[in-house]
Homo-oligomer: A and B are copies of this chain.
Amino acid sequence: MDREWNIGEASKAASLPVKTIRYYEEIGLVIAPRSENGYRCYGDTEIHKLRFVQRARSLGFSIENCRTLLSLYDDKNRASKDVKKIAEEHLREVDAKIRELQSLQENLTHLVEHCAGDTRPDCPIIDDLSAPAIEARKTNPRIH
């Protein structure tokens, strides 16, 4: 049937906020043609692409990865190894982030467990944060 939708309907169809869809167009990710009144005009193809991006983003792929995945999605002669490579790289990043956060979690749990949490001023958390040395610590990952 290839109906056409305006941005509000596309938003519901793709589970993406209107603002986000406009942003994706601005960065050249999914571009919709315009109708006479200047409104964006979404056909089946654009809706599919928006949903594709929505799903990829929900899996934590970066916008740049989404761009590459979209072009592979369009390319019917793509090799599955090209896609797999991106997914594996992303998976490695996710793994690394989990390990980093788990190390944080251990540190924080330890600190919280040793703090009385009452009305007295003595606080092992503050004491730890005020400790002089940096090098002496075991784990000290930077957060970004």
Q: Are B91 and A112 in contact (CB under 8 A)?
A: yes
Task: Please give, as numbers and ranges, the residues of chain B lying within 8 Å of A78 by CB-CB distance.
Answer: 121, 123, 126
Chain B min CB distance to A121 (Å):
5
Known: A87-B125, A126-B69, A129-B52. A97 touches B108 (CB 8 A): no
Chain B min CB distance to A115 (Å):
5
Q: Does A111 contact B (CB under 8 A)?
A: yes
Chain A, residues 5-27, CB within 8 Å of chain B (1/0): the string is 00000000001000000000000
Interface size on A, residues (CB 8 A): 61
Binding site for B on A (CB under 8 A): 15, 48, 51-52, 54-60, 69, 72-73, 76-81, 83-85, 87-88, 90-91, 94-95, 97-98, 101-102, 104-105, 107-109, 111-112, 115-123, 125-126, 128-132, 134, 140-143
